[in-house]
Amino acid sequence: MAHYAMVINVDTCVGCNACMAACSQANQTPVWDSSKFRTYVHDEEFKKDGRWVRQFFPRLCNQCDNPPCVTVCPTGATWKEPSGPVRVNPDVCMGCEACAMACPYDARYPIDREDVEQAKAYYGEEFLKRTHPAVDKCDFCWDRLQQGLEPACVETCVAHSRIFGDLDKPDDLVTKIVASGKAKTLLPELGTGPNVYYVDKLPEGLANE
Task: Tell me which residues touch another protein (CB under 8 A).
Answer: 10, 34-37, 40, 42-49, 53, 55, 57, 59, 68, 70-77, 92-98, 100-113, 132-135, 184, 186-187, 190-192, 198-201
Which residues have CB under 8 Å from 203's CB, separation 6+?
176, 177, 180, 182
Longest Cα separation, the chain: 55
Nearer to another protein, 149 or 188 (CB): 188
CB 145 to another protein: min, Å: 23
**Angle, CA of 72, 75 and 78, to the nearest 5°:** 65
Nearer to another protein, 113 or 169 (CB): 113
Q: Is 134 within 8 Å of 88 (Cβ atoms)?
A: yes
Nearer to another protein, 95 or 165 (CB): 95
CB 188 to another protein: min, Å: 10
- Whole-number Å distance between alpha carbons of 112 and 92: 14
CB 149 to another protein: min, Å: 26
CB 146 to another protein: min, Å: 25
Nearer to another protein, 53 or 149 (CB): 53
Long-range interactions of 34-37: CB distance < 8 A, separation 24+: 35/109, 36/109, 36/110, 36/111, 36/115, 36/136, 37/109
CA contacts within 13 A on the Cβ side of 177? 30
Nearer to another protein, 44 or 143 (CB): 44
CB 153 to another protein: min, Å: 16
Kind of pairing, strands 78-80 and 134-136? unpaired
- Whole-number Å distance between alpha carbons of 175 and 152: 20
Nearer to another protein, 113 or 160 (CB): 113
CB 22 to another protein: min, Å: 19
